[in-house]
A = this chain, B = another copy of it.
């Protein structure tokens, strides 16, 4: 592996309560963190041009833009609206020269109980945005979310399921491997190896799974505070040929979002050295 690439990237959701885009960039520069992954609302708040200027000024690597996706909808109009939004997301990712656009694919539309149908809408949606992604040079990273989000956030819930979609869709579509979502998977090692053989590992997100977890969305843990064997999963990824950044994405309303951003970044750097 190229050791220089195994760096920290800060997913800006990790400090979203403390910092906007500009403050987060300043915090990262001060902390010596050279890669970020912003959310679209954060880009919108500062403006795409200014965001891109800051990225260039500080020579930051953008490991992803969060997020496209949310394809399923009850109506054709709703699905078209999602596609239009995904086109804009591609443009933003291109403007920031991001490694990928992360896709959180969406759950069941309206009052539907048809998860197979929702999954088909996801496949159709990615297929529809793919020409624009390809012509823009933007990779699409399907992020399988934990099955506890299958109903309301993402009906793609395992790496294998995402890879099955990649096989149908062809090049430019891969996976973002977020340990929070996949650590429990009995076939994790096999799925990561398969993703490597397909050359489709576009991102590696890290945090930790706390016991107990008190909120299904906003109680993610700092690396080392939970039960995920981060070193082992990183080894699987490197074995599969992925040697890129580890993007720290922690939604933590009662803990890390309540602390000063600088403290959060220092903790991330310490933990990155010891448990990742």
Please give the residue numbers on chain A whose beta carbons come within 8 Å of chain B beta carbons, in ascending order: 108, 112-115, 119, 146-148, 150-152, 155, 157-158, 160-161, 164, 183-186, 209, 211-213, 216, 226-229
A209 in contact with B151 (CB, 8 Å): yes
**Do residues A148 and B151 form an inter-chain contact, with CB atoms below 8 A?**
no
Complex-state Cα separation, A249 to B216, whole angstroms: 21
A115 and B229 contacting across the interface, CB-CB below 8 Å: yes
Task: Name the B residues within 8 Å of A157 (CB-CB).
Answer: 184-186
**A108 to B229 alpha-carbon distance, docked (Å):** 12
Q: What is the minimal beta-carbon distance from A159 to any residue of chain B, in angstroms?
A: 11
- A271 CB to closest chain B CB (Å) equals 14
Q: Which residue of B lies closest to A152 (CB)?
A: B211
CB distance from A209 to the nearest CB of B (A): 6
Contacts of A183 in B (CB 8 A): 115, 150
Q: Please tell me if the beta carbons of A113 and B227 are within 8 angstroms of each other in the complex.
A: yes
Residues of B within 8 A of A164 (CB): 186
Closest B residue to A111 by beta carbon equals B227
A150 to chain B: which residues have CB within 8 Å?
Answer: 183-184
B211 adjacent to A213 (CB under 8 Å) = no
A108 to B208, CA, bound (A): 15
| Residue contact B115 to A151, C-beta cutoff 8 Å | no
